Every structure is written in C-alpha cells, then in structure tokens.
Structure 1
Amino acid sequence: MATNGRTVTVFGGTGFLGRRIVQHLRDREFPVRIASRHPDRGRNQSGPHDPQLQLVQADIHDARSVADALAGAYAAVNAVSLYVEHGRETFHSVHVEAAQRVAAQARRTGVRRLVHISGIGADAASQSRYIRARGEGELVVGAAFADAYIIRPAVMFGPDDAFVTTILKLLRRLPIYPMFGRGLMSLQPAYVEDVAEATVRIIQRAETRPTIFECGGPRVHSYEELVGIVARQADLAPILVPIPFAVWHALAWASEILPKPLLTRNQVELMQIDTVSSPEMPGFVELGISPYSVEAMLQEMLSKRG
C-alpha cells in the first residue's frame, strides 16, 4: 500500500515501543505525528529537520487534546503504557479510560485504521489490576472503534528495555541472583523492533477486519532459563537462588513507598503468570515476520552497552 501522504498519529510515540513504531513508519515514508505530553523528547527520532515528522503536545486524559492530535490522520496507534501508578495516572485511567477516549475520538475524527497496543494475558476478569485494566481496555476500544486492531506483545526486549537490561544489571552486580519464585514461569520474549514492524504492517494491510494479534518471540523460556541465557552471553556465572513470592511482595510493598519504586507489587504479580502467545491466535507469522530470539539479539545489545 502506498502511503499517499497518509498521516499516522502515534500516542506514546516517545516511549520504548512507540519511538520504534515511529521510525518504522518513517522508513515506509508515512508522515508521522507524535502525540505526547512531552513532544520534545521525539526531536531526535528521525533527524532534527524531518518535515514529515510532527511533534504535538497531547494529553490522553483530555478529549479535545486527543481530537486535535488526530485531526486529518489516516491511522492512529495507541502505544501508551503504564507500569507504575502515581497520582491520577492509574492503570484504569490510562489503559481503560484513555484507551476508550483515543478510540472514540479516532472514530469521531474519521481515522480509518486504529491499532491499540495491549499485552499477552490481557483479561478483564483477572485479579491483577494491571491485567484486568488491559483486558477492559481492549473491550472499550472495540466498542468505540469496531474495526480496531489489537496487538498483544509478549514481554518486550531490546536496547534500553526494562526487562533483559535489568536482568543484566543485576547479574553484573550480584554474585548471587535472587529469582522470582523457582523461576518456572514461562516467557516468550518479543524483540521490540519486531513488534514495531508488526504495527506498521497492520496499518498497511488492505483488509479492515478487526483482529487480535498475539506477538511472542520464536522461543518459550522459563524465567530461570532466560536468566541463564543472559548470564552466559555476558560471560557471567551467578548462583541462582529461589526467593518465595511472598518475600517479593513484601519487598515491593516497601519499595512502593519510594518516589521511584525499584519494584512494584504489580511487577511481582506479572512474574507469577505465564505470558505465552496462544497457537490459535494470529501473530508474527500471519504478518510475514520471522521474529528475532533473545539469543540472536543479546550480543548486539551487549556490544551497544560496551
């Protein structure tokens, strides 16, 4: 599909996934509008003088602000995410209320294609507030924009991520590595660039049938196996010690008192749940993408860290 000057508005376009989506869109010559509360953070994403990259200030909690950011856009991507609640920024306000607002305004302003980024395991009936909000968000988005596409990525990795990079930092600092429980939870890490590419291919699809894509990497690992892979690639030999989840919950509760918590109870809850794509759901394969594994990309990540 030719871009034909079709502008794509990306909410959360300065974030970990969002800035990659922006770059992949620009690589396809889509004009892009980054909608963010801090648009200046996007100035260096495609070069300082890219005339096809607009930076607009937008607050997803304000309908007028959202509508202005969507005006005249062909497509929109909601890549806004929240992992730690603070003030009015709650899982419900961001993943449900704001998601519904973006979808409703996209429909009202004539946007033709909407891609909503959710997460594997999203479930409106979950006991976890985060997972429940993700699930409720999918429902309200579908109700407001019937043709919306939803992407559920597995835990994402890549340079500057909050997952593999965190594991690596801890492995380098701690000779004894504290594992979440016995490290048996199953993970299917997805390379962030692959998820960004999936987003753009969905925007380019000719069909408009609403679909949920579950995007997991090529391999499923236990948490313990994944830590071992990272350690070996970094030439480290830590002692892995299982720590009961009850202890992690207590540590997270104490950490949440800090202005910038090192660990939250939500993160501990997520580490107790398998995050693996369903074989019945379409994913990377249906989009013509051969996803990269953690092993394939780790050396590149390590070399960039020096």
Structure 2
Amino acid sequence: MASNSETLVTVFGGSGFIGRNVVRALCKRDYRVRVAVRRPELAGHLQPLGKVGQIHAVQANLRYPASVEAAMRDCHVAINLVGILAESGAQTFDAVQGKGAGTVAKAASAVGARMVHVSAIGADENSLSGYGRAKAAGERAVLAAVPTATILRPSVVFGPEDQFTNRFAALAQMSPVLPLIGGGSTKLQPVYVGDVASAVADAVDGKTRAGATYELGGPEVLTLREIIEIILVITGRERMLVTLPFGLAKFQALFLQFAPGAFKLTPDQVALLRSDNVVSDAAKAAGLTLEGLGITPDSMQAIAPQYLWRFRASGQFRKKGV
C-alpha cells in the first residue's frame, strides 16, 4: 500500500490564512505538498511547517489556465482555497471564485487528480452578495469538471491572523464605539481554522463522500452582537455598541471600501450580513458536517484568548478588572 509520502497534493492559495493551516495538516500526515500561489517568493513562511523538501512553492494565477495546468503536473490531489473578501482590479469575485475554481477543476480532471474545493456556507446563486453568487458559480464549475469532488463550506473562520476576530479587536482598540450592522442580529457559526484544515486533510485521505457538499461550523451559533461581546471580554475592553441599519451601513460602505485596515467595509460585505451563516439542518441530518467526519469543533471562547491577548491594554498578563 502506497504511503502518503508518495502522494503529491497541490494546494492553490496555500500561503493564506486557511492555506497555511491546511499545509501544516497535510505535512503532519506526510503528504508531499506543492503550494501554488501568485507570489511564491513570499511563501517562504510555509517551509518550517514540514520536513526538508516536503513543501515546494510554485507560481500560479487562476486567471491564467496555463499556469494552473503547470502547477497540476504529476499531481494526485488538488485543493482549491483561493478566495477574496473584496474585489480589486482584475481580481474580481467572478474571475477568482467562479471561473478560477473551474480552471483548477479542469486542470485536475486533465491529469486524473482528485479535487477538494473550499467554498463558503454563503454560496448561493440567488445571494444578494456578489461574493455568495461567485462562490456558488465556483461550486457548479468544479462539479461539472470533477463530479466526484468534495465541496467544503465553512461558516466564518476564526484563528490567529484571521480577518474576523482580529479585525473587531483592532477596531475596539482604536474606537470607543463599535457599529452593529443590522443590529448585530445576523447568526453565524464561527469555525476554528484548525478544524477546517483537519476536514480538508480528511478529504485528501479519502474519508469524505464523493461529490458531497459538507457544511463546517463551530459548536455554537452566535449572533454578531454576541461575537463582538465575547471579543470585548477577551480583550478586556468596554465599548459602546451602536445599531447601524443595513441601509445606512451600505451607504457608509460606499466610502469605507477605500478605507485602510480594520475600517474597510464594502457594500458586498454588508449584503452578506443580511443572511444567517450557519450549518443547515439538511447537512446535519446527512452527516455532512465536522461531527460527521469525527471532528469535535473548538469554540471561539476556547481558542480566541490564545491570540487576542495582544489587543489587551496591558498585554497578555493583564489581570481582569484592573
């Protein structure tokens, strides 16, 4: 029986937040990993995650099929993690998350490789968000080229270096007021990035059902308000939470989409918050969840304090109530 060390896995988008955790999980299972990214010279931080020679970065851009085909040469499994939260220039939702996903799947099909595609629970062809519609288009393109592909749909993903919990913690560090878009009533099911990476590695192991779509969520369904309150408790900060109606939030986003760092907010992100982002009852009934894969998800309260301490006024060892 062939060992995992004889299996080459190409990870598109492997240098990003979810990507580095996926690469780590694959290396722990002794797979050979080829990381396909636009700027391989900036992927050196991945090397310590594996053994000498286990990880190799190559150049690939989903908008250029020839580069994707080259990255897939002699590969056994393809993982597509590429996604963007905001459009910029040629990097549009449709080009990256729609057509780009299809490009990876076609390249995988051409070499007879298996396919794992990470999408999002918000994927919906009728979504108010361009992000959600593009994610749905990407899923269709992947299954059209590789019908046996595994689709993984995580809810909002948290962990060190995320653009979710860290963003709210940074805002609380700079502003005495935090806006609750739509009153903060949108329901989310935050999932730890390590659990998502384990699910991806399980799919590479062949533990998932061919052609199935899995929905990945954490152990708790929380409103946006509850999540922000948890972050404030962890960081030891008291801030005023102010309701911001969706209409006003969308208007402000027309200007904030050009803002730097944590203040950036796009109209599309506002549209995404109009819909809940939780694991469906159908996925639970079918066992197409983390629990169905035998993974016990970690909660935000258990993990976030390990990295959000840096946003506390006096650092990691600040005593509560001081």
TM-score by length of 2: 0.90
C-alpha distance in structure 2 between counterparts of 1:294 and 1:208, whole Å = 28
Cα drift, residue 241 of structure 1: 1.0
Paired residues of 1:180 and 1:243 also in contact (CA < 8 A): yes
Listed as ranges, the gaps of 5+ residues in structure 2 are 316-322
Matching residue of 2:290: 284
Paired residues of 1:23 and 1:46 also in contact (CA < 8 A): no
Q: Secondary structure at the match of 2:166?
A: helix
Matching residue of 1:149: 150
Q: Which has the higher helix share?
A: 2
Cα drift, residue 184 of structure 1: 0.6
**C-alpha RMSD over aligned residues:** 1.8
Structure 2 CA distance for partners of 1:14 and 1:240, relative to 1, 3 Å: same
Paired residues of 2:181 and 2:245 also in contact (CA < 8 A): yes
Structure 2 CA distance for partners of 1:100 and 1:176, relative to 1, 3 Å: same
C-alpha distance in structure 2 between counterparts of 1:198 and 1:130, whole Å = 23
C-alpha distance in structure 2 between counterparts of 1:267 and 1:125, whole Å = 15
The 5-angstrom pairing of residues 179-190 of structure 1 reads 179-190=180-191
C-alpha distance in structure 2 between counterparts of 1:193 and 1:284, whole Å = 12
Matching residue of 2:64: 62
Structure 2 CA distance for partners of 1:164 and 1:207, relative to 1, 3 Å: closer
C-alpha distance in structure 1 between counterparts of 2:246 and 2:201, whole Å = 38
Paired residues of 1:5 and 1:30 also in contact (CA < 8 A): yes
TM-score by length of 1: 0.95
Matching residue of 1:294: 300
Matching residue of 1:72: 74
Q: Which amino acid aligns with 1:302?
A: L
Percentage of matched positions with identical amino acids:
36
The number of residues matched between the two structures is: 305
Structure 2 CA distance for partners of 1:87 and 1:2, relative to 1, 3 Å: same
Listed as ranges, the gaps of 5+ residues in structure 1 are none
Paired residues of 1:120 and 1:152 also in contact (CA < 8 A): yes
Q: Which amino acid aligns with 1:125?
A: N
C-alpha distance in structure 2 between counterparts of 1:124 and 1:251, whole Å = 26
Does residue 83 of the first structure (1) align with residue 62 of the second (2)? Answer: no
The 5-angstrom pairing of residues 27-176 of structure 1 reads 27-47=28-48, 50-111=52-113, 113-176=114-177
C-alpha distance in structure 1 between counterparts of 2:75 and 2:67, whole Å = 14
Cα drift, residue 176 of structure 1: 2.1
C-alpha distance in structure 2 between counterparts of 1:208 and 1:2, whole Å = 21
C-alpha distance in structure 2 between counterparts of 1:217 and 1:279, whole Å = 14
